[in-house]
Structure 1
Amino acid sequence: MRDTLLSEHLLAWYDRHARDLPWRVGPADRAAGIRPDPYRVWLSEIMLQQTTVAAVRSYFHAFTTRWPNVAALAAAEDADVMAAWAGLGYYARARNLLKCARQVVTEHGGRFPETREALLTLPGIGPYTASAIAAIAFDEPATVVDGNVERVMARLHDVQTPLPTAKKELTALAERHTPNERPGDYAQAVMDLGATICTPKSPACGICPLREDCDARRAGHAAELPRKLPKKPKPTRHGIAYIARRDDGAWLLETRPDKGLLGGMLGWPTTDWSDDPAPAPPLPADWQTLDAEARHTFTHFHLRLAVQIATVPATSAPDRGQFHPANSFRPADLPTVMRKAFDLAAATLRDL
């Protein structure tokens, strides 16, 4: 009974306080029979992986304006999609985005599968994303567990086991509360609760719709949960980015291999990223090393790129990469770390 009442209380709160998100069909529209577009649900869930709502909004608008449905995205040029994704990070998502769109078109007639199990067969869709799409787009009572849901469950049931050890336990608790009625709204309600009230720091327990049932609030340590195991320190890798501009203004760029970090993205030629990278300039030139480094943090390591710059004749023939005319080069199309390197180099190159 407690589980049923909890979901009812949370849904009643969601009906009044649901966030207005560009990919969401709100509770009033859902009650009026308006169904979510599975394409928009899928696209938003892929974009939101490891990324904040604030960062995703503008990208989601740009993608859905340019590619309004899965067929349009499936027909897009790889380079255009990768450029549109630049700056959003975790670039394997963009490669899988195209693979998934094309598989939906070629194998499913342009319609997303409607069950969690079938969604799991698509590229780039893992257990969380499959559950989210199944629940939100198709109202399958799939259990959706992200960081917000883990936090709500840990506090609601005063789970002392630290993450990531507690994941299985928290998922089982989340499954217990998932209702058969309005599972899509419920999934979004728990995530909204975690994002707006049951926040990582200073949770607003006084206005929480579940405050009377929250074990951690009663124990007085809600803000301390979920507990987490200490993180291992990230190693630091180094590399050299080579930024060459031709006399006619063209820039030397290369498309990185599909596999690996920044796979398929346009960027500057670089050395390997290692503890002690060996120099590997893409062409002979009077390379000058800037005083500042381009620094960026990936999931598992910190990267420090020394930036070397050069101006070269129009007849230059690089060992790798291609020169791109100045009028077709947009720094915004570069992934973040490459754009950081460009920002360091731009002022100096203008003066050379």
Structure 2
Amino acid sequence: MSWLEPDDEDDDEFDESDIRVRPNPKANRPRTKRRPAHADAEIARVLGVDRGRYTVLVDEDGEHEREATAARARELRRAPIVTGDRVRTVGDTSGDDGTLARIVGIEPRTTLLRRSADDTDQVERVIVANADQMLVVVAAADPEPRERLVDRYLIAALDAGIRPLLVVTKTDLADPADFLSHFDGIDLEVFTSGRGEMPIGRIGAALVGRSTVFVGHSGVGKSTLVNALVPTADRATGHVNEVTGRGRHTSSSTVSLRYRGSGGTGWVIDTPGVRSFGLGHVDPANILRAFTDLDEIAEDCPRGCTHLPDAPDCAIVEAVAEGRLGPTGVSRLDSLQRLLATFATR
């Protein structure tokens, strides 16, 4: 038989049903991105984060207030969840040993305190959510206070719409008057403390009914202050290196602690000590808005006015020179310009 001739024994017609089709698991997955409504979710406050697990407070101030451990739902894997967040939780929220709840949503935030890795980094890093006060802790000496670092804290607070407070510790080692004079023009409540003299009552009164984030350079006494305000906090304290003049990092994570005082309760949010605070994410317009009287006058400034000393036809500079802002006008303008200059040279 020629190889061109058909083979009668193998001339059966081809049948597609003879082919074995492998199942495709992806084809069976639903294409919708709709998620369950979780109508039974409970609102909880995030107290801290540790290696992908969140300590949350369920039924805050309620009859069944309790702490529970939770993990984030898969649909939130790209969303930052930070201390201070109000989240929606489902699953086992009893808080019993070995139980794990699940975070399925984040409630709208009122404020976000952010910083960038450096001044050129436009990627913001959320530190705390829903804080309404920032308490900046500095030492009068050992280590020496850094005006520019405090300026950066203030800029970040003003950008976030958070009220700043200032505590100067170790005033028994040095007089902080010269340092504090740099902030005369800012609406800033200041507390001072030295050895044996810590105004816990006054500071505590400012915390009642508020969520206050504590920030400060390592070694300034921030953890000592937190422990005095919240005796159960047990935050580690350190010392300043005699050679470098720098403090040792003691707080390694951000946690929310409940303050209980004679006037009521509040939240103390302790953060790790930092030596730098990038401002790459800040909108400079928010700095001026914090100086409400100067912001109104700025409406008469030329477009693009920097409000710095060399700015031509600046309405604020002219108003201060003419004495229209009273005795505090000079100091307030100086404070504004210093903050704007710090931001401009970032």
Q: TM-score scaled by structure 2?
A: 0.25
More strand by share: 2
More helix by share: 1
Which structure is larger by alpha-carbon Rg, 1 or 2?
2
Q: Using CA pairs below 8 Å that are at least 6 residues apart, which structure has the higher relative contact order? A: 1
Q: TM-score scaled by structure 1?
A: 0.24
